[in-house]
Amino acid sequence: MHLEPRYRWEWRTYQRSLRPPLHTQHGLWSVREGILLRLTDEQGRVGYGEIAPIAWFGSETLAQAVEFCQSLPAAIAQAEIEAIPASLPACQFGFESAWVAIAGVPAMPQLGPERLCALLPTGPGALQAWSDLWAQGFRTFKWKIGVAAIAQELAWFDQLLAALPEGTTLRLDANGGLSLGAAKTWCDAAQGTAVEFLEQPLSPELVEPLLELQATSPTAIALDEAVATLAQLQTWYDRGWQGVWVIKPAIAGSPRRLRQFCQTPALDIVFSSALETEIGRRAGLRLALECGKGDRALGYGTQHWFQAGAETSGMSEGALFEQLWQTL
């Protein structure tokens, strides 16, 4: 009788400070917490994964992920990984990514900053921060709105547009915090400017207003919080969403199933970071490159939000991941 291979596994929690804290419609985010995983097969091969939940986006909480890890035996099989429930999408992503990595993954291509979208500070901080990022080679930026009074934010927006060089692309992200009237005001203000799209302008529960806004707005509309998980992606696909899809692989669920969804023709998809470590970041970027959806910049220009670590240039991925495992 052939027994299914089992994988020894370990896990540890981590905390990383955002410097400065990120101010969004959901509040002030000052510490990124998550779980690192290390799976080892019977031949001694190792695969790393990351569980990086964002509960206010609709994933499980960190406490629920910890409880799930505590419930598992010291060795697990592929069937147990594939049986992780959809209610734990960040756990699905972390375990499946680690298991796939054991068999070997293609080398990570070097992605220059021109291929990535850099996240700017909220509010007037963006007026200074963009220039250093531009000097590094970034040409696409994301700016979060819906945090201050709309009149004040529109004034900052005008200043930012006036400062940005020709050839810059700007994404506006409201994190679901606008009223329908405010969203229409932003759409009108963005028309004919460097704005690429307005991301999640309304709460995910406002289904009909979102569909109406997408159909009538002069500015492209993207969903983010509304399509955080695979189940939500399918729901909005069935509703006929024709706008942009911003997908955070780290909280979407099974990479295998997400890859299948992304094979659907004519989907305008932007893959985006969940402010995970390099372990989850590379797993998400590989998935984005495999799916190869369009020419939009990938939303992974977020590393400047964390304090720079030790020099890693020339380091193999395995060595880099082991260093993160040991130090975080």
Convert the pLDDT of each residue in 162-220 to its tens digit: 999 999 999 999 999 999 999 999 999 999 999 999 999 999 999 999 999 999 999 99
H-run or E-run covering 11: strand 6-24
Among 13, 95, 67, 10, CA closest to 328? 13
- pLDDT band of residue 1 (cuts 50, 70, 90) is very low
pTM over 0.85: yes
Find the range with the poorest average confidence among 54-58, 147-151, 190-194, 307-311: 307-311
- pLDDT band of residue 307 (cuts 50, 70, 90) is confident
What is the mean predicted confidence (pLDDT) over 284-302?
A: 91
- pLDDT band of residue 311 (cuts 50, 70, 90) is low
H-run or E-run covering 77: strand 75-77
Active site residues: 144, 248
Which residues does 27 contact at the CB level (< 8 Å), separation at least 6?
none
Q: Which domains does the chain have, with CATH numbers?
A: 6-102 (3.30.390.10), 113-305 (3.20.20.120)
Alpha helices in the chain (DSSP H): 62-71, 78-82, 89-102, 126-136, 150-163, 180-190, 207-216, 230-238, 249-252, 255-262, 278-291, 317-327
What is the mean predicted confidence (pLDDT) over 125-130?
A: 96
What is the mean predicted confidence (pLDDT) over 46-54?
A: 97
